[in-house]
Amino acid sequence: MSFPAGFLWGTASAAHQVEGDNRNSDWWEFEQQPGRIANGDRSAIANDNYHRYREDFALLRELNQNAHRLSIEWSRIEPSPGDFDARQIRHYRDVLGELREQGIQPMVTLHHFSSPIWFTEKGGWAAQDAPHAFLPFVHRVVDQLGDLVGLWCTINEPSIYGANGWVTGEFPPGRKGDLLALYSVTSNMRKAHELAYTAIKRRWPDAMVGLSHHKLLFIPATEKRRDRWAAQASQMALDRWPVAPGRLARIVEAQCDYVGIAHYWGQMCAFDPRRPLDQFIRRFNVPGRPVTDMGLSADPMWMRTVLNELHPLGKPVFITENGLATSDDEWRARHLTETLQNVQLAIGDGVDVRGYFHWTSMDNFEWARGYSTHFGLIAVDRKTLERTIKPSGRLYGRIAAANSLPD
């Protein structure tokens, strides 16, 4: 039941969700708009990880983690165009240095859903020059922090970011149904990834560089051709981005040293001629599978399916996110164990899985869901910010220490 030697056991987090007081971010501005966030929540102080990172990393070390995925907040580093804050760069050097002191390898994400307000005021990721506006930040971070980083994730879940910001309206800028802008956003994020990849490899050629792709599993409702088409079309819409006029390529085939996969849930798909606004596709939860607090069905067995799809690429794989939105920690523990069993099966199938980053280390500000949704292995009291390791966290710590699943 052992995992490969050197396997990375970690958790994942995003700066805006845990740091607090991130006032130059488009998300901070978005939260002030009525009706945007569940229950009127705001990130505010969040988990105060900006000041408590040493305490938080000590908890990760207590849980025997040897890796942690975190993001560098662009809006802190470059609060206005071309204005780089040396104090914030020193802060992140301290953060990464502390991880190293704790024996925890950082995987650094350069863009995890949040951008500076000045960037969004110029059109954000839908603007033609967005990739080049992103690049100075990349260069500064790579030059100033790269000696502390061996694993880089350029962009987090570009298809989800684009869809939530320009189709569903759940993310900034809160647009709905703008499919043309979605095309521009994903195209620009592809270009930004390529520019960032080149910049990192030029400065630190031995670093491993990739991105995180959100992999939602779509299952045909029946074996009928029209339902198989519905599932394939749904998968294509999420898995591909523009590479040339009229041509799409799979995100997992991007220029990279590893493939990063975020997988949580799945849906069934059926052709439905009554749904022209949904591309004639009806999507619904898989019957008989439990539904998470995010309203989507989850099954640990799907992880093996997702990983085996990557086998033909012949590249190392990191599971950059996986977890369960629930307040039922016993379910979280079962789901975690069964998911890792399927990771192990995929490794046995020949997939080169190098690490697993659970989403997330501690309950936090879950974007438009506010503080109502819990993914963490560690609970956070919203009044006192006291951290308490959950039983699922202790279980994960035992697995990480043994580098194997319990008998």
Q: Give yes or no for residue 383 having a pLDDT over 90.
A: yes
Report angle CA 89, 81, 68 to the nearest 5 degrees.
35
Per-residue pLDDT averaged across 141-160, rounded? Answer: 98
Residue 246 belongs to a domain: no
Is position 88 within any domain? yes
Q: Taking residues 276-290, report their average pLDDT.
A: 95
Tell me the pTM.
Answer: 0.98
Report pLDDT digits (tens) over 162-191. Answer: 999 999 999 999 999 999 999 999 999 999
- Give the pLDDT band (50/70/90) at residue 277: confident
Domain assignment of residue 307, given as a range: 8-213+299-400
| 229 in a structural domain | no
Question: Residue 49 — very low, low, confident or very high, per pLDDT cuts 50/70/90?
Answer: very high
236, part of any domain:
no
Q: What is the pLDDT of residues 89-135, one digit of tens each?
A: 999 999 999 999 999 999 999 999 999 999 999 999 999 999 999 99
213-267 tens-digit pLDDT: 999 999 999 999 999 999 999 999 999 999 998 899 999 999 999 999 999 999 9
In a domain, 327, yes or no: yes
pLDDT attached to residue 389 = 98
State the CATH number of the domain containing residue 386: 3.20.20.80
Residue 227 resides in a domain: no
Q: What is the pLDDT of residue 110?
A: 99
Q: Please give the average per-residue pLDDT across 126-145, as a whole number.
A: 98
Q: Is the pLDDT of residue 405 over 90?
A: yes
Give residue 246's pLDDT. Answer: 86
Number of domains in the chain: 1
Chain-wide mean pLDDT for the chain? 97
Is 278 a domain residue? Answer: no
Binned at pLDDT 50, 70 and 90, residue 365 comes out as very high
pLDDT at 12 over 90: yes
**Model confidence at 407, in pLDDT bands (50, 70, 90)?**
confident
Q: Is residue 270 part of a domain?
A: no
